[in-house]
Amino acid sequence: MGALLSAHGVTKSFGGIRALDGIDFALGEGEVLGIIGPNGAGKTALINTITGFYRADSGSIRLAGDEISGLPIHAISRRGIARTFQNIRIFKRLTVLENVLVAGKRAALNPIAALFRLRREKPALEAAANLLSAFGLEAKADWRAATLSYGEARRLEIARALYGGPQVLLLDEPAAGMNEAETERLVNDIRKARHRLRAVVLIEHDMSLIRALSTRLIAMDYGRKIAEGEPAAVLAHPQVQRAYLGEAA
């Protein structure tokens, strides 16, 4: 069977800086693909290019065999790719429930206007409430999102990403800013999310989270893939050690 999500020869430059330099990867059914690398390695640039925030200069990106590079953001999302961001992006003035409802495909063109309709539709409300319950947020459904703790806001962002029923979820440093207890909770939350998805891509600096969740790793540096394979082997790879620790490694 072909890859669920794949990239071949993807490049992206900003001025004279090559953020992505011929990236290839293939994401299989049921995988949690971890992507690691030092700051500036091109990890977020890769997610931004997959999801249409950036347009690749060259190369191919395919979802279930269909070319998606060059499509607008909303079209890529509707085909089944969802994401979270390094910096939490929630609508702080909306309620927790409303934050989930606006992520539905039917709300894409006019989210706020759609809220008035969706709040009266039982199937939409039940689907959103089910996700909030799964992530321990049901008691705060009617609270303003601004009142959530940092860890709760992260969980809300994941719940919202799942509301549209994506095939693939891309998580961009979900543990950033979390303490140890919050990170442990996040591991469990991502495991819950896996059951609703066909595959996950996880960018993270926290190696405890990477080891706990990843079925395979890709390591990047200076926009290039420098290693790929089983997590233990990639983390022990000399080029990966040098990228993180310098030549002395």
Digit-coded pLDDT (tens) for 177-210: 888 899 999 999 999 999 999 999 999 999 999 9
Q: What is the largest CA-CA distance in the chain?
A: 62
Is the separation of the CB atoms in 190 and 169 below 8 Å?
no
Q: Is the pLDDT of residue 13 over 90?
A: yes
Q: Tell me the pLDDT band of 96, cut-offs 50, 70 and 90.
A: very high
Q: What is the model's pTM?
A: 0.89
Average pLDDT along the chain: 90
The first and second tokens of residue 171, run together, are 């998580």
H-helix or E-strand containing 187? helix 180-194
Is the separation of the CB atoms in 129 and 97 below 8 Å?
yes
- Could you tell me the domains of the chain? 5-89+151-245 (3.40.50.300), 91-147 (no CATH)
Closest CA to 178 of 82, 92, 88: 88
Digit-coded pLDDT (tens) for 47-70: 999 999 999 999 999 999 999 998
- Can you tell me the distance from the alpha carbon of 206 to that of 174, in angstroms, rounded to the nearest whole number? 9
Q: Is 18 helix (H, G, I), strand (E, B) or coil?
A: strand
C-alpha dihedral, 96 to 98 to 103 to 106, nearest 10°:
160
Is the separation of the CB atoms in 62 and 5 below 8 Å?
yes
Is the separation of the CB atoms in 154 and 185 below 8 Å?
no
Kindly provide the b/e burial profile for residues 147-169, where b requires at least 16 CB atoms within 10 angstroms of the residue's own CB.
Answer: ebeebbbbbbbbbbbbbbebbbb
Digit-coded pLDDT (tens) for 15-32: 989 999 999 999 999 999
Q: Is the pLDDT of residue 153 over 90?
A: yes
